[in-house]
Amino acid sequence: MRSKQKVAIVILNWNQKADTLACLSSLMSVLDFDVRILLIDNGSTDGSAAAIRAAFNSVDVLEAKGNQGCSGGRNQGLQYAAAIGAEYVLFLDNDTIVRSDFLTPLIELMESDPTIGICGSTIARFDNTSLVWIAGGTIDEHGIQAGNYYGQSLDLVPRSVYDVQWVPGCVLFAKVELARKIGLFDDEYFIYFEDIDWCTRAIRSGYRIVVEPSSVVYHKVSQSLGGSTSPAKLYYMSRNRLLFVSRYIPKNRLHHALLNVIRAEFEDGRDDLREGVAPNVAVYRLLGVIDFFRQRFGYAPAWMHARRSNSRDE
């Protein structure tokens, strides 16, 4: 392995100044690598960009004119990585805290095997660091995704590298050349499933996706849209799950797969009601389903982003 690799670390921020500053503070430990950090501010109104510039003069700050979502922000990050000649790009959610040794095994793994296009870390919960949030994921025959080891003990994660079908954009380490072969993130998703879609295209282009268990990152979970039952999150998840299925499930199984997703959305809504969650959460799921069939993609109705949830995070 060469002693230094040119790595672009891309972080998106939208009105989460405190989380972003904490994330950047944890990243200062990896600057002994040839690393450039780009912070893309998605039109924040809380003074994030100025605060970040004042605290970290080594961080490049790009202020977008408005909220371009995860897909748009990550695409700007890919263009930035290519422009500075980076070999690798790390997409990192701003509500994460990294361990000082998290980057080395990711670089070493990429250098060791040219068939690997994307790798991820073991992502543990920040509020309980002994529990896994996600350690890569799977996609079943109906196009339904699931995170590996979700909510389980960190001790259950395998010690050696293993293949997966996707890793979350929360911690996604990729070869920059990948974008030249499979294209950018799809803006129709805006947020949620854009990472799974990109991983799916990578696999279909012959790349492996793996998890490096020894790389550990802590995630504060569901900060960006205000909780697991925020209107925007429920809307995007139901709409984009259907969009993903419509693109990657064979036509002879597509009708059944779409019905399966819709049924799952309504079952989740029923479970929310049983757990005492506000009844209108089912409406947000339904609006996502309706807009899928209307072929209305990209940014959700603005009023959804104005409402945030105080409910449980997932």
pTM for the structure as a whole: 0.91
Q: Cα torsion for 301, 234, 290, 189, to the nearest 10°?
A: 70
Query: Could you tell me which residue, 2 or 73, shows the higher pLDDT?
Result: 73
Q: How far apart are CA 98 and CA 276, in angstroms?
A: 35
CA 231 to each of CA 200, 282, 286, 295: distance values in angstroms, whole numbers, following the listed order: 27, 9, 11, 19
Q: How far apart are CA 292 and CA 270, in angstroms?
A: 21
Q: How far apart are CA 270 and CA 248, in angstroms?
A: 27
CA 4 to each of CA 78, 83, 166: distance values in angstroms, whole numbers, following the listed order: 20, 18, 27
Residue 231 confidence class, pLDDT cut points 50, 70, 90 = confident
Ordered structural domains, the chain, with CATH: 7-219 (3.90.550.60), 231-306 (no CATH)
Q: How far apart are CA 121 and CA 102, in angstroms?
A: 8
Residue 159 confidence class, pLDDT cut points 50, 70, 90 = very high
Round the CA-based radius of gyration of the chain to a whole number and report it: 19
DSSP state at residue 195: H
As a whole number, mean pLDDT of residues 241-251 equals 95
Residue 224 confidence class, pLDDT cut points 50, 70, 90 = low
DSSP state at residue 290: H
What value does the mean pLDDT of the chain take?
90
Q: Residue 244 pairs with which residues in a beta bridge?
A: none
In this prediction, residue 33 carries a pLDDT of 72
As a whole number, mean pLDDT of residues 78-106 equals 96
